[in-house]
Structure 1
Amino acid sequence: MDQPDFEQMRRRLAELKSEHRDLDDVISHLVETRPFDQLQLQRLKKRKLALKDQILKLEDALLPDIIA
């Protein structure tokens, strides 16, 4: 993996983590307001889970394989 790809992946990882944190804040705020839209909450949680999956894949790709 050459350096530009590595840096691009790190930037994308930072963006995904930021969006994940932002969604966490939005979800928390939504739950605190009554009544809240259950469908909107489910969609936000689904998006947050998808982001988490993308984050894990990128982190795995960035970590070098360790031969045990």
Structure 2
Amino acid sequence: MAIKAHMETLNRRHQELEAAIAAETKSPSHDDLRVVELKRQKLKIKDQLEELRTQSNLN
């Protein structure tokens, strides 16, 4: 059950980052470095989610 809750939290954070990236890129004076950092965080969360999915399938 703890894994499922953690995955839900990560999914929520992934969606928040996606929204932040969209908002940042819509700004006429968006910060490219900020966008790169947000994308890096989003990818890290995606990797964590995939690892948890793999672990939960093995159990």
TM range (shorter): over 0.9
Tell me the secondary structure at the aligned position of residue 40 of structure 1: helix
Q: Percent identity?
A: 24
Q: Which residue of 2 is the match for residue 49 of structure 1?
A: 43
Separation in 2, partners of 1:51, 1:18? 10
Q: Which residue of 2 is the match for residue 61 of structure 1?
A: 55
- The structure with more helix, counted as a fraction of residues: 2
Q: Which residue of 1 is the match for residue 25 of structure 2?
A: 31
The runs of 5 or more residues in structure 2 that have no matched partner are none
The runs of 5 or more residues in structure 1 that have no matched partner are 1-6
Letter in 2 for 1:36: H
Q: What is the TM-score with the length of structure 2 in the denominator?
A: 0.93
Q: For each residue in 1:6-53, what CA deviation from the matched residue of structure 2 results, as whole angstroms up to 9, or x when unmatched?
A: x11110000001100110011001100111011111100000000000
Q: Runs ≥4 in structure 1, deviation > 3 angstroms?
A: none
